[in-house]
Amino acid sequence: MKHLKSRMDESILVCVYYGLNGERLIRRGHKLATLLDCPLYVLTVDPKPLDAFDAEKSGYIEQWKQLAEELQVEKFILLDNEKRPIQKVINEVARNYDVTQIIVGQSAQSRWEEITKGSFLNVLLKEVPFVDFHIVAIKRPTEDDSYDIYEKGVRAYLIESEEDFKIAFTCPKFAAIEGIFFKEIGTDFDNGIFKFTYANKMHELTITEGIVVNPQKIPVDAKPSSNSKM
């Protein structure tokens, strides 16, 4: 059961696009919503239809949905196949949910980065003049921000050998687990994290020099040896 918010005169909307910074924005919004004891909404928009999303996009969506449920977000809003300008979409959502504050992130790999540029910000302010905006810049990674120390994710595969699971970057001819590999910044080895979706849940594994170090986290039914076809 969700916590009954005491303040309904305030409402926060977090706008996220694909990238590891999305979790930071959602948590920032949750912290603010907790302080104000008001509803929190999360919005992501994509011009492509949902069934055309690649594994990386689908992975982020699933991750954010789980986080939104964990944090008891009022609603996770996914608008796919959306052809309207972003400011029009944000305006509509803000009005529909009586939003008073909007959080957006500044990222070189984010569609939302345009919001930090003066021209677009002016357009957005004119389009949605009834809210306060929070522009969150990406800070330098720290030990507490492990999800910000990785390169852009690439498609990868887990192959089971006699003793362990290894990562590969070309599609094998036999059964394998397909997912996204995020390599640690500043390493020459295949160190990082591997994320994949199975049974409608996001799973994360630690990779060191191309080998899975926590194979116990792989669901038994998801292992290649348990499936003739993935």
DSSP symbols for the chain? -----S--S--EEEE--SSTHHHHHHHHHHHHHHHHT--EEEEEE-SS-GGG--HHHHHHHHHHHHHHHHTT-SEEEEE-S--S-HHHHHHHHHHHTT--EEEEEE-TT-GGGGGGSHHHHHHHHHHSTTSEEEEEEPPPP-TT-GGGSBPPPEEEEEEE-SS-EEEESS--SS--EEEEEEEBTT-SS--EEEEEEETTEEEEEEEETTEES-GGGS-GGGSGGG-S--
- In this predicted structure, what is the pLDDT of residue 221? 84
Q: Stretch 61-75: mean pLDDT, rounded?
A: 92
Q: Is the pLDDT of residue 106 over 80?
A: no
Mean pLDDT of 132-151: 60
Q: So what's the pLDDT on residue 37? A: 93
Q: What is the pLDDT of residue 7?
A: 67
Residue 74 confidence class, pLDDT cut points 50, 70, 90: very high
175 band by pLDDT with thresholds 50, 70 and 90: confident
- For residue 161, pLDDT beyond 80: yes
Q: What is the rounded distance in angstroms from the CA atom of residue 9 to the CA atom of residue 117?
A: 29
Residue 211 is predicted with a pLDDT of: 94
- Asked whether residue 91 carries a pLDDT value surpassing 90, the answer given is yes
123/157: higher pLDDT: 157
7 contacts 38 by C-beta, under 8 angstroms: yes
Q: What is the mean pLDDT of residues 184-204?
A: 83
176-202 average pLDDT score: 84
Rounded to an integer, what distance in angstroms lies between the CA atom of residue 171 and that of residue 198?
Answer: 18
| Residues 192, 150 contacting (CB under 8 angstroms) | yes
Top-confidence residue, 19 or 165: 165
For 208-212, what is the mean pLDDT?
Answer: 93
d(CA 158, CA 210): 10
Q: Which residues pair with 101 in a beta bridge?
A: 12, 132
